[in-house]
Structure 1
């Protein structure tokens, strides 16, 4: 099993043996039989109690206010277009008649706005209801670097420590400083770190180590731990041989054939992810669910505002057109009356 060093008469070593530059100076490595990265292991927390207001979560507070304000604005404009006396008089449209062109435009704009809002809300609500978060706030390596309340660490004098020590990334430097300056942050062995997470003997603890080992530990009983975040510092596991040993090429070719055939992938799935606890990776870490912010809805809101502005503009044009048309009718009617003979005028008046 990975993690247990095995030797044979040919001085061949097979284990969770990370291929590093320092080790390559003393031993000869085969091609990697497994490409892995580092990850985080922490204790599972209690699931949060579902709130009766969970259906409000998909939109943030600002977006909710804007939606309510948009509904009020559309209602006011639409009622003004239908109810104002001058509009009813000149456009000849009552509350029970079919909407005018301006009314149709604002209604179409609101329908489109509502369609996008409802579709976005439905999709995000489904994600909120499907993915149940955990109480812990650690979901990535960056989250770990930004806090000091939860103790985290790895094995002393390991390649993991060297990675953080030599990394130029600021977050990695903070992690290295925290681990080296915090008491009991570093452990003597991987087994100690794994059991410290599970037993919570010295408080809450997050352990950083090779992801396949963490997956194996978390996917087996007692199912108290989980692997969080995406892997980082990708590296390979390989067989270690004495320098100059002639069998390195044969071993490497055999490894490449097994990887190409999918044999090693099958073994990885069987031993690392096939435990009683199922998939060791928390589902909430694979699904990035965030509230829909106001910036995500700017496009559809612009369309709604344009529809409102366009309907008001068309309404004004319609009013002007009807006023002009009625004035023209009155002018033509007055002219016809003036051209009518006096006796005909009296007859018309009499009738």
Structure 2
């Protein structure tokens, strides 16, 4: 929307400035030294075409002549250069980030490829989950891990270190709670996909223990009041190095940020400043031209500039009559009347001093 507003604003402003600028009114017939009319190449359609051609970096056959119109064209060219370059760079970054994103999005993707190895803690709950699962994908993954014993590790920490040192060629499977704890502190690893299974935690007690009901009620109360969630946030994301990867996660979310006004706002400021300066120069050019013309033709400065402004703001027509001083107009008028009088006099032959305006002749006999 800002780009569209800038395009329309600069086009309309260029149209008005070209009508005000005396240098943009040219002789349409160079063979005639003193023409009666002048033409302006910057009509509204041509102004819109000139600016869109610059935005598309294709140009046009129209070129500004005056200082102010050249200033507008130059600042618009600078604006379009920065905007197109910024958009191209952001597009390249977006495509690069998209191509660098991991092709593994789920356990199915991991099971259907052979480039990345995966494993779990030996004799742990995660390995037991894959071993006892009836889901075909998980059975296939267990067959791969059991046929490659080297993918198993002794501890979760060993598996995390192996992931960090494998350059993306190894994935480690473990409990989601442990993964959440690790990715808050190890910024070069990330959780891929959702949860493979949903299980809760519990407290094992001797059968018939008198503390069972009290502990169950206390856990439910902590869960309902949100204290369990607050404790998890405290120890997972705040204490002991938690939250260290928060900034990295916001920056490297796997997609390039869109190009917004905060990124290119300075270019719009430069455009507005340049166009404002060009407007001042356009009025100075008009005042200078009218002052010289009024001194040459011995006319009133204010009447001349009033007529120029009145004609410019009519916003209609691309031709303007050439103003001549009164002496030349009267001389041309008298010369024309004399020439017409001579032509008429040459065609009239007086018959006599007493001849009537009209008459007829007939034969005597």
TM-score category, normalised to shorter length = 0.3 to 0.5
Scaled by the length of structure 2, the TM-score of the pair is 0.39
| TM-score normalised over the length of structure 1 | 0.40
Greater fraction strand: 1
| Higher Rg of the two aligned structures | 2
Instruction: Using CA pairs under 8 Å that are at least 6 residues apart, name the structure with larger relative contact order, 1 or 2.
Output: 1
